[in-house]
Structures are given as C-alpha cells and as structure tokens.
Amino acid sequence: MEAPQPPPPDVPRYLQEKELSQEDKDFIFSLPTEKGWVADGLHKYHGFWLSTKQMHGVLACQKHFQAVDSDIVLVTTVKSGTTWLKALMFALVKRAHYLDPQRHPLLTENPHVLVPCLEFDVYTDKQVLPDLSSLSRPRLISTHLPYVCLPDSVKHSGCKVVYAWRDPKDVFVSLWHFSNKLRPVGSGTMSLDEAFDKFCRGVNTSGPFWDHVLGFWKESLKRPESAFFIKYEEMKEEPALHLRRLAEFLGCPFSPEEETHGVVDGILRLCSFDNLSNLVVNKSGKLPAGIENSAFFRKGEVGDWMNNLTPEMVKKLDSITQEKLHGSGLKF
C-alpha cells in the first residue's frame, strides 16, 4: 500500500487528511457516516456526529488526557460564543499574571491559541502526545465534545466545567456562515436548505445540538459545585453580573480593591467584540491549523437568525427545541 502523498503546500492543515492508524481508520469508517459541512465526513459516535479529524482527537484524548482538580474546561456547542468565552475566562483566571493592560496576551494572540481545544488542538497527533505538565495552573482548555464523549478523567476529577449554550437558531446561522468560509476552494458553498436539513437531523459537528445541551444540563443539576451553566444571551445582556458569578464559581472572586479599580469593566472592554475583532492578530493572523482568525468574528449578535431564516424554518426549529427540551427546565 502506497504512503499518502503530502498535500500541496498551500492547503491549510485543517483540510489535510490525517494519517490514521489502520485500527483507527477501520473503527471510524465502521461508524454511520454522512457528508460533512466543510470537507471531511461526520461519523455517529455514542449518538453524536463528530468529524473525521475530531474523531482522531477524541480517541487520543479519551485514552491519554488526565484531568487534575485545578483544571478548568470550557464546553460549548459549536458557534455558541466560544471565542468570547475563551477570552473572558483567560482574562479572568489569569488576571494576576497580566496587570499591564497594554501588554496583555489577548492583544497579540487569538483566544483559541490561549485556550486550546482538547480534540482539535491538543491531541492533533496520536503518535506525538502533548506534554501538559508544564502548563501553568489552573490549566484552561476547551472542547465541543458531548458529555458522553469526555475523557473519564474530566468526568471523575474535581475539575470545573463551564458550559455555554445559545439559541439554536443563531447557532445554526452562525455555523452555516462559518462552514462556508472554511470549505475548500472550488467546492462551492453549502446551501441554506441543505445545511438546515442536516442541523435539524442533528448532523453537524458535535450534534445533535439539543442532546449536547441536555447532557451537560443534567450533569450540572447533579454536580452544581463543579458545573457552571450559562446561556450566551444572558451573558450578553448582563455581562458584568455573570462575569462576577463565573469568578465566584471558579474560586477567583473579585476583591473590593479590584471592584474599586474597575477590573470587571476592564476585562469586559478587553474582551469585547469590537476590541477583539479590530486587533491586528484577529484581522490578519491564522491559527496553527490554517484557519484565518477573522473567521471567528462575524457579528457576535443576538437574534441574527431573523436576517437569514424563513418563517417556516423558524417554526420548525422552535418546534424541535420545544419538543427536545420539554420537561427539562430549559427553554428559550
């Protein structure tokens, strides 16, 4: 069997095929598979749809990642304010290390670099395991994985989990725009109708959306001391209130002196959409995987679905949401 040919040098890493072991390849492609939104396929694993690249990272992190009690894990469904939450949590948790606002890492690094994703960034090469022992505590990591797919060490350690979710109508619209930005040159765009059908069936990265949310919601009810559940829309409406709540939950509340000196407002200004989206690094830089940083900054608004969805689409998504979340205590 011939070795795979190296990709052309201008193909970004996120579009390059992984060199999977035969064992992993046989397992992944034995799963139910559908066409993905960007390039690679989606595979149904424990009831959720994960991309081929994501599956590679999932299998590696499930086997090797060892959470410690001081870890902080940000979990989101895709396109649920992840970039903003990463910036806020980094600025919040690491604030004692960066007292000079003119020299803050967020001014020169994208939030996705500062808070890497477990399955997409940390475990990118199963043959070369990352050395996480040197990371400063608390370690900040993120994931889009559903609860059932998390490494056991995350579930059974004392680490803190912050879960953010968003109106599925805005999630869908944002995911559709984002995916079309990432599609290979020459492959065209995915139509709104095709994407909508997939999303309603749960066939999207880490979908179904509703099952993802419910898995962590139920866990937060069981272990409120270690799981913080926040809605994107609530965070946007009262950011200072929820940033203080988050600080309390993570064990780093704001001191009276910090309150007096406006530290809360300073973090919110630093991490605002207007500030982050206009930084040079986020207008022109790229992630190691080759995704342009600007792709993560579209609008950052609540309710943009009104500009994209037909009344029939809205009715269908609202009906699915009502049916799925019925009796859970969650609602929009």
CATH number where 98 lies: 3.40.50.300
Answer whether the bond into residue 138 is a cis peptide, omega within 30°.
yes
Tokens representing residue 234 in the block: 């609530």
| Cα atoms in the 13 Å half-sphere on the side-chain side of 78 | 23
Residue 16 lies in a domain: no
Per-residue H/E/C for the chain: CCCCCCCCCCCCHHHCCCCCCHHHHHHHCCCCEECCCCCCCEEEECCEEEEHHHHHHHHHHHHHCCCCCCCEEEEECCCCCHHHHHHHHHHHHCCCCCCCHHHCHHHCCCHHHHCCEHHHHHCCCCCCCCCCCCCCCCCEEEECCCHHHCCHHHHHCCCEEEEEECCHHHHHHHHHHHHHHHCCCCCCCCCHHHHHHHHHCCCCCCECHHHHHHHHHHHHHHCCCCEEEEEHHHHHHCHHHHHHHHHHHCCCCCCHHHHHCCHHHHHHHHCCHHHHHCCHHHHHCECCCCCEHHHHCCCCCCCHHHHCCCHHHHHHHHHHHHHHHCCCCCCC
CB 42 within 8 A of CB 50: yes
How many domains, in total, are found in the chain?
A: 1
CB 64 within 8 A of CB 49: no
d(CA 193, CA 195): 5
What domain range is 272 assigned to? 30-325
Higher pLDDT, 290 or 57: 57
Residue 85 lies in a domain: yes
pTM: 0.91
Q: Is 278 helix (H, G, I), strand (E, B) or coil?
A: coil
Q: What is the pLDDT confidence band of residue 288, given thresholds at 50, 70 and 90?
A: confident
Residue 184 lies in a domain: yes
Q: What percentage of the chain has pLDDT greater than the value 90? A: 67
Residue 7 lies in a domain: no
Mean pLDDT score, 42-47 = 96
Answer whether the bond into residue 208 is a cis peptide, omega within 30°.
yes
pLDDT the model gives residue 19: 67
pLDDT of residue 124 exceeding 80: no
Residue 314 lies in a domain: yes
Q: What is the pLDDT of residues 20-32, one digit of tens each?
A: 778 888 899 899 9
Q: What is the pLDDT of residues 209-246, one digit of tens each?
A: 999 999 999 999 998 899 999 999 999 999 999 999 99
pLDDT of residue 4 exceeding 60: no
177 is catalytic: no
User: Which residue out of 56, 112, 144, 177 is catalytically annotated?
Assistant: 144
Residue 211 lies in a domain: yes
Q: What percentage of the chain has pLDDT greater than the value 70? A: 93
Residue among 171, 140, 176, 120 at smallest CA distance from 290: 120
pLDDT the model gives residue 1: 41
Q: What is the pLDDT confidence band of residue 56, given thresholds at 50, 70 and 90?
A: confident
Q: What is the pLDDT of residues 131-169, one digit of tens each?
A: 777 778 899 999 999 999 999 999 999 999 999 999 999
Say what angle helices 168-182 and 192-200 make with each other, to 10 degrees. 130
Residue 4 lies in a domain: no
Q: What is the pLDDT of residues 67-89, one digit of tens each?
A: 999 999 999 999 999 999 999 99
pLDDT of residue 289 exceeding 80: no
Residue 153 lies in a domain: yes
